[in-house]
């Protein structure tokens, strides 16, 4: 079918914000696939309904993920999007690129696909949007030659992602890029070959600001923090005051643990009461900084709502020193134990966070070999339904 008019979509060319329709227009002349995409999308806008459907599983040889197969349900009308698969390409840590590499990727996708991308997908991948089954393997190999690999999809480890961290942020409490890269490499097999009950996501944030939203959407969330005292440059404090900042109102009064004092001269922090929320540091980056004894908190179990309601991740390891190779090794071992337990007890399509709720945190901790700590909970149980274990009672009776 010939290029159709798209009056509804054309409305979206207007206005100051960048327009995805303009992006489609940019390539449609040379990409019939995009012409048909425009057509089908205009149909969707008119009819208020999508026109994609499930289809057989497609992918590249030896991988169980990385490609989302998609088919039009208007194949006759729009044959060029009969197949319209996406490829998820594992982004470089913290999404750093050079113009060189971007051009190479553009060229590959110009050749093998629709010329449309998402920079980036919600998980973090570079998403190459729309190609046919035939082109999957060639695209994959072309990318591989440039040093790129596919990301995850299906019941696998999903593409890990991390915040810009030490590369450009003064608050990074550990090297998010390195950890993200190392983990991605370490777990290539888990990333490409489904053997989990469901998906598993790692996200790495350098501090509690959590700029990759890891606590909301990763099965394992690694969030930088510190243990010792907040670093204070009192001269810089004075400068903020001189510049007109109302330190009492903007910082001290807002501190959630109310552990700060300001006497008009300097700031004092009762560091044992600090909950490491970052607020004071966020507001006064020149004067305050995280302490020097830095590491991370490991949290487990975040996910979207299907099926028992969404979960935020919860504390598993209150503090870990990620500069210490032994502790990183311990973390890998812990991850192995978690995956083993999940593999054995997780139901099909049950995320780790749901499994923990189902079997109970204390049973889970025992299985993975961690001691319970009060930092793992917001409060102890309020119901009296305690599953006392016989062994332990005996100890108590001695």
Contact 351, 303 (CB under 8 A): yes
Contact 255, 279 (CB under 8 A): yes
Catalogue the long-range contacts made by 339-348 (C-beta closer than 8 Å, 24 or more residues apart): 339/190, 339/196, 339/200, 341/367, 341/368, 342/196, 342/197, 342/200, 343/195, 343/196, 343/197, 346/196, 346/197, 346/198, 347/197, 348/197, 348/198
What phi and psi values does residue 5 have, to the nearest 5 degrees?
Answer: -70, 145
- Distance of alpha carbon 88 from the chain centroid: 14
Closest CB to ligand SF4 belongs to which residue?
Answer: 206
Closer residue to another protein in complex, CB, 308/340 = 308
**Binding of ligand SF4 at residue 300 (CB under 6 A)?**
no
Among 208, 151, 155, 154, which residue's Cα sits nearest to residue 180?
Answer: 151
First to last CA, the chain: 85
Site for a copy of itself in 17-56 (CB under 8 A): none
Site for a copy of itself in 286-305 (CB under 8 A): 305
> Which of ligand SF4, a copy of itself, ligand SRM, none has residue 172 at its interface (CB below 5 to 8 Å by kind)?
ligand SF4
When binding is defined by CB under 6 A, the residue of 1, 119, 235, 275 that contacts ligand SF4 is 275
Binding segment for ligand SRM among 74-82, 107-115, 206-214, 356-364 (CB under 6 A)? 206-214
Contact 130, 114 (CB under 8 A): yes
> Which of another protein, ligand SF4, a copy of itself, none has residue 136 at its interface (CB below 5 to 8 Å by kind)?
none
How many of the other CB atoms lie within 10 Å of CB of 110?
13
We find the least distance from the C-beta atom of residue 309 to a copy of itself, in angstroms, to be 4
Beta strands 67-68 and 85-89, pairing class: antiparallel
**Binding of ligand SRM at residue 245 (CB under 6 A)?**
no
**Binding of a copy of itself at residue 378 (CB under 8 A)?**
no
CA dist list (Å): 246 to 33, 241, 287, 340, 396: 57, 7, 14, 53, 55
Closer residue to ligand SF4 in complex, CB, 109/171 = 171
Q: Buried b / exposed e across 282-304, counting CB within 10 Å, b at 16+? A: eebeebbbbbeebbbbbbbbbbe
We find the least distance from the C-beta atom of residue 370 to a copy of itself, in angstroms, to be 26
CA distance linking residue 14 with residue 278, whole number of Å? 40
> Which of ligand SF4, a copy of itself, another protein, none has residue 260 at its interface (CB below 5 to 8 Å by kind)?
ligand SF4
Q: How many residues does the chain have?
A: 398
Contact 175, 166 (CB under 8 A): yes
Contact 129, 39 (CB under 8 A): no
**Binding of ligand SRM at residue 323 (CB under 6 A)?**
no
> Which of a copy of itself, ligand SRM, another protein, none has residue 201 at its interface (CB below 5 to 8 Å by kind)?
ligand SRM
Residue written as tokens 């979207």?
A: 304
We find the least distance from the C-beta atom of residue 394 to ligand SRM, in angstroms, to be 30
Site for ligand SRM in 296-315 (CB under 6 A): 303-306
**Binding of ligand SRM at residue 163 (CB under 6 A)?**
yes
Closer residue to ligand SRM in complex, CB, 178/370 = 178
**Binding of ligand SRM at residue 338 (CB under 6 A)?**
no
Binding segment for a copy of itself among 59-67, 204-212, 240-248, 378-386 (CB under 8 A)? 378-386
Contact 335, 369 (CB under 8 A): no
Site for ligand SRM in 279-298 (CB under 6 A): 282
Quick check: bond before 307 cis, omega within 30?
yes
Site for ligand SF4 in 158-177 (CB under 6 A): 163-165, 169, 171-172
We find the least distance from the C-beta atom of residue 333 to another protein, in angstroms, to be 21
Tell me which residues touch ligand SF4 (CB under 6 A). Answer: 163-165, 169, 171-172, 205-207, 209-211, 255-257, 259-260, 269, 274-281
Tell me which residues touch ligand SRM (CB under 6 A). Answer: 68, 70, 86, 88, 94, 118, 120-125, 127, 151, 159, 163-164, 169-171, 199, 201, 209-211, 213, 217, 282, 303-306, 351
């Amino acid at each position: 079918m010939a290029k159709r008019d798209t009056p509804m979509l054309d409305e979206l060319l207007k206005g100051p914000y960048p327009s995805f329709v303009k992006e489609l227009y940019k390539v449609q002349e040379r990409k019939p696939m995009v012409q048909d995409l425009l057509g089908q999308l205009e149909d969707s806008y008119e009819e208020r309904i999508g026109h994609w459907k499930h289809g057989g599983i497609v992918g590249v040889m030896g991988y169980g993920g990385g490609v989302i197969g998609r088919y039009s349900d208007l194949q006759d009308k729009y044959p060029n999007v009969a197949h319209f698969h996406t490829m998820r390409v594992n982004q470089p840590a913290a999404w750093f690129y050079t113009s060189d590499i971007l051009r190479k990727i553009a060229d590959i996708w110009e050749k093998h696909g629709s010329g449309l991308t998402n920079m980036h997908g919600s998980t973090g991948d570079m998403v190459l949007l729309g190609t046919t089954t035939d082109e999957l393997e060639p695209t994959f190999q072309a990318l591989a030659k440039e040093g790129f690999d596919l990301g995850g999809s299906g019941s696998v480890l999903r593409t890990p992602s991390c915040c810009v961290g030490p590369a450009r942020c003064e608050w990074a409490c550990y090297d998010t890029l390195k950890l993200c890269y190392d983990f991605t490499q370490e777990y290539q097999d888990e990333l490409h070959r489904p053997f989990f009950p469901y998906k598993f996501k790692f996200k790495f944030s350098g501090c509690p600001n959590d700029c990759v939203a890891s606590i909301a959407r990763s099965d394992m969330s690694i969030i930088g923090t510190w243990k010792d005292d907040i670093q204070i440059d009192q001269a810089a404090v004075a400068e903020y005051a001189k510049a007109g900042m109302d330190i009492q109102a903007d910082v001290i009064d807002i501190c959630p643990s109310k552990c700060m004092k300001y006497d008009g001269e300097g700031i004092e922090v009762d560091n044992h009461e600090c909950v490491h929320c970052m607020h004071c540091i966020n507001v006064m980056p020149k004067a305050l900084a995280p302490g020097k004894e830095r590491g991370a908190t490991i949290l487990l179990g975040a996910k979207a709502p299907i099926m028992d309601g969404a979960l935020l991740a919860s504390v598993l390891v209150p503090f870990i020193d990620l500069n210490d190779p032994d502790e990183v090794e311990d973390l890998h071992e812990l991850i192995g134990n978690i995956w083993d337990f999940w593999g054995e007890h997780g139901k099909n399509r049950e995320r780790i966070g749901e499994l923990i709720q189902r079997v109970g945190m204390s049973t889970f901790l025992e299985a993975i070999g961690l001691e319970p700590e009060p930092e793992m909970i917001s409060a102890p149980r309020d119901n009296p339904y305690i599953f006392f274990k016989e062994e332990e009672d005996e100890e108590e009776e001695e």
